[in-house]
Structure 1
Amino acid sequence: MRWIYGLFFALILAVGAGGVWFIYGKPQEPKILTVYAGPRDGDAFTLMREISQVVLRHSDTLRLRVRPSLNSSVNIRRLRAGEAELATVESNTPAYSDIQLVADLFSDYFILIAHADKPIYRMQDLPNHRITIPEDGSSGSRSFWSVVDHYSVAPESFRSLSVSGELGKEQFMQRKSDAIFLVNSLRDPSFLSFLEEARLRGIDMRFIAIDQAQAMSLKRPFIQASKIVRGAFDGSGPLPVKDIETATLQRLLVARDDADEDAVNELVNIIFEKRLDLLIRMPLSANIAGPNVNQGASLPFHPGAARYYDRDKPSFLQENAEPLALIITILAMIGSALLALRRSLSAKAKNKADVYNVRLLEISRHARESKDMAELMALQEELSTVLETVVKALDSDQVTEEGFQSFAFLWNSVRDVVNERRQEISAQAGVLSQS
């Protein structure tokens, strides 16, 4: 009978141990956050897709699922419906109490362009003309009508053609409208393609200033005054031909208030701590900043994001800077004595960066000589591996910042070589299949 009790006790221990392992020892699946990021050909979607790749490379606990959508208003609806945890929106998008800020992504500019042969030189010249504007209900549409309201242009004095995305740009290029109003960043891929297509078609355009943006912000605090500098899109023209005053909105990354706090904190940490990796992929990411409730939308921080931003609160040393001044002076003297040693180590780090540059040149040479798509895919994978190695070397001071910048420039060039070679082989394959 005693052996039965022993067996029963052993069974209880086994079940308990299994439960402990299940809770604490079993490998946890990464948390997946879904983010709706606007049109697939837009800058917000591209940026979030690149962020998702950086998260994939640097986190074992988080993944981003990036989804396209029509506009910011749709994104807010999807958040509130529980279809996503994150979304990108413009700062004039009506939000709700269950939506919280994660980060400022970049500035969206109000851009008004007219055909050069049309007598449109300022907002007050819109009457008796046809204007293509973003689709009804979108942030872009709200932005346009806020400008019209400020300049007291009667809506019935002109014809507004409300269409979405590429349709509106094509409408303008076919001269079905006299001007077009857009809201996007200055590096938006679809906008840059529009300007290039217009140049190829020989369409002369004039950028119209929105020169009272600062006054508009008195009524609409989410609007900020800025300018599009001369030659921002083409230095040979240049385009535009002079600095253009205009208004901007902030593109924001927001989250539901019940989004996993640790996951949001991990996302913000990677965005800012792995900034170099992200910058190489997309220069627009240089504009990402912590939210500023005094500019743009007045939404509260998400707790996960706030945990990261609050890390910069004054430390004990900062609060007691004056009593520690003498110690700092002594340390500065010691630092001067070690400067020569640091220079020696920096020289070694630069030499190591040169080794990686040589490796990139070898990849470039193989890509130019390659005629096999599989080999090019392998070279592209090797590029990613080299990038990861150098980023880690930078973090551990094995490569200098100067050496890394030189590497990053060459890495981008080699990536373009590989991509162009892949396109050439694909085009050749297409020609062969047709023949």
Structure 2
Amino acid sequence: MASSSTPSTTQGSSVFRLSAIALIAVNVGLIGFFGWVLYSRNQVYRLRIATSPKQSENYILMDAFKQVVERHHPNIRLELVPTSGTSESLEKLDKGETQLAAAQADIPPPAIARLMVTLYPDMFQLLVTERVNIQRFTDLKGKRIGLQTKGGQYRTFLEIAAHFGLQDRDFFFVGNTEEEANLALRTGGADAIFRVRAPGYRPIADLVRSSRVRLLPIEQARALQLKFPAFQPTVIPTGTYRGLPALPERDLPTIAVDRLLLVREDVPETAVRLLTEVAIERRQEIANAVPPELMDVRPLALQFRAPRGDETPTALHGGAIAYYERDKPSFVQEYADYVALIMTVMALLWSWAVEFKNWLEQRQKNHADAYSQQAIDVIQACRTATDLKLLEAQRLLLLDILTKAVQDLDRDDISEESFQSFRVVWQIALDVVRERRVALLQSPKSQNTEARLPAPQAPPTMLQP
């Protein structure tokens, strides 16, 4: 039999299906979200940080940082990897040998690097022995410089030299390590040393106490900044290394460059966000974790801060952005009214769909109940019937009832379940008609009447469920 669904039934079924799918999708999304949160919180992250040599303030601070991180986030395990300087640290970061690196801002990082925290400013410090007459940077030409010929400090020194028209061949570099270079200055094997370190750097302070040295200004800082935007004009305050007699004797012009904490782009955002949180929110705790004998390093930890956009072209890591923008309203918070409206509309649609479905089912049941009642009326009429003509009329009525019920089933006005219940009643009614006919035929009084009646037609074949 051809079928044609009514518009109201089809529309109601579609709305209900869409609402059910939306509800299932929301539940699956919530389960996935909470599962991801639990997994992220319990995941263990093992990360390595490339730092400067062990005696440097950078290594000391990163060791304190490591202690505080592991104290508050046991699922993050950090390992320090000392290097000869920024260049080697960045090389290890690029190769994936470390996941983080503390580096000078003026040394270009690899493409994989992302910025996390600005640690503190390093200053260019040029110490010269009083045995030679060196008054300005250009006087270093032909002199022995205590500086290893690799790493960020060497590159920075050559950048300054290039500004004054000098090249690497204009100097004699001595010392394969920072310790060897310092010893050369102390013993007369070097005329000067160049360091990019925080003011008050302990090895420089030791040289001041044990040798006749003085600090040389680095001039034209603003001109150098035009070539190297990471350079920041600054001064080394009077008496930084010695109060009496003061060293330096006056505020000494020089250049500062930020020390940055970089992280590989592929480090999970969750771990980077937690590391950033510790670096910014627990600065005092990091400072306190520095050993008491290295008290002069502690103030550097208090300078940890969020990077400014104009400081470096290196992009922020997504985890760091998540922390720095934590006070920004989330999408749900920012569009709370719209989200609430959408959720309300969805709830209403779902409620309407459920109500419409219930109404539709009740309507289908009422249709089936009406046909069942008609069949029951036939049963009542046949039980007291004494006329074969009346029985024939009831039989024809049953056939008409069945035809209408099948048509309603085809239009979805009756559900399959309700139709099956009706069919049972209809079959009983048909059986009652047959039994009553047989009883009347066996009665002598009705035999004459039977002879005049046409032979009854066989009922139509019943639909199978």
Given candidates 238, 242, 262, the residue that maps to 1:254 is 262
Question: Which residue does the alignment assign to 2:253?
Answer: 245
Report what 2:105 is aligned to: 91
The amino acid that maps onto 1:98 is I
The one of 202, 205, 218 equivalent to 1:189 is: 202
Number of the residue aligned with 1:175: 188
* Conserved 8 A contact 1:43-1:187: no
Residues 1:136 and 2:149 aligned together: yes
Compared CA separation, residues 238 and 27, structure 1 to 2 (3 A): closer
* 2:140 partner letter: L
Percent identical pairs in the alignment equals 29
Match of 2:133 among 119, 128, 144: 119
* Contact 1:114 1:208 survives alignment (8 Å): yes
Q: CA deviation at 1:265?
A: 0.3
The answer as to whether partners of 2:174 and 2:184 remain within 8 angstroms in 1 is no
d(CA) in 2 for partners of 1:41, 1:235: 24
- CA pair 26-207 structure 1, distance change in 2 beyond 3 A: closer
Q: CA 1:57 to 1:210, structure 2 compared with 1: closer, same or farther past 3 Å?
A: same
CA RMSD, Structure 1 to Structure 2 (Å):
2.8
Q: CA deviation at 1:26?
A: 12
Alpha-carbon offset, residue 25 of structure 1: 9.0
Tell me the SS of whatever aligns to 1:114: strand
Q: Which residue of 2 aligns with 1:286?
A: 302
- Does the C-alpha gap of structure 1 residues 213 and 130 become closer, same or farther in structure 2, counting only changes over 3 Å? same
* CA distance in 1: counterparts of 2:308 and 2:127, whole angstroms: 30
Partner of residue 309, structure 1? 324
Measured in 1, the distance between the counterparts of 2:152 and 2:71 equals: 33
SS at match of 2:324: helix
- After superposition, the Cα gap between the structure-2 partners of 1:119 and 1:311, relative to the gap in structure 1 and judged at 3 Å, is same
Deviations 1:231-271 (A, max 9, x none): 01121221211111001211110011001110110011112
User: 1:104–1:250: 8 Å Cα contact kept in structure 2?
Assistant: yes
Q: Which residue matches 2:212?
A: 204
Q: Give the distance between the partners of 2:40 and 2:255, measured in 1 at CA.
A: 52
Contact 1:36 1:84 in 2 (8 A): yes
For residues 97 and 308 of structure 1, what CA distance do their matches in structure 2 show?
22
| Alignment match, 2:56 | 42
1:56 pairs with 2:70: yes
Q: CA deviation at 1:312?
A: 4.3
Distance 1:315 1:132, change over 3 A: same
Counterpart-to-counterpart distance in 2, 1:159 and 1:58: 48
Compared with structure 1, are the counterparts of its residues 154 and 38 closer, same or farther at alpha carbon in structure 2 (3 Å cutoff)?
Answer: closer
With 56-65 and 170-179 compared, the bigger mean Cα shift is at 56-65
Letter matched to residue 309 of structure 2: V
Change (3 A) 1:161 1:30: same
Residue of 81, 95, 98 corresponding to 1:81: 95
CA positional deviation for 1:78: 1.3
- Unaligned stretches of 5+ in structure 2? 1-33, 290-297, 335-465
Calculate the TM-score normalised by the size of structure 1.
0.62
Structure 2 counterparts to residues 264-413 of structure 1, below 5 A: 264-281=272-289, 282-295=298-311, 297-313=312-328
Aligned residue for 2:71, secondary structure, equals helix
Secondary structure of the residue aligned to 1:290 is: coil
2:244 aligned with 1:236: yes
Q: For the residues of structure 1 that align with 2:316 and 2:326, how far apart are their CA atoms? A: 14
* Amino acid paired to 2:139: D
Task: Specify the alignment match of 1:397 in structure 2.
Answer: none
Q: How far off its partner does 1:301 sit? A: 0.2
1:265 counterpart SS class: helix
Contact 2:112 2:265 in 1 (8 A): yes
* Counterparts of 2:330 and 2:94, CA distance in 1: 38
Query: In the TM superposition, what is the alpha-carbon distance from 1:190 to its structure 2 partner?
Result: 3.2
Indicate the residue corresponding to 1:6 in structure 2.
none
How much has 1:24 moved relative to structure 2?
A: 5.6
CA displacement 1:169-188 (0-9 Å, x = unmatched): 00111111211111111143
In the TM superposition, 1:141-152 aligns within 5 A as 141-152=154-165
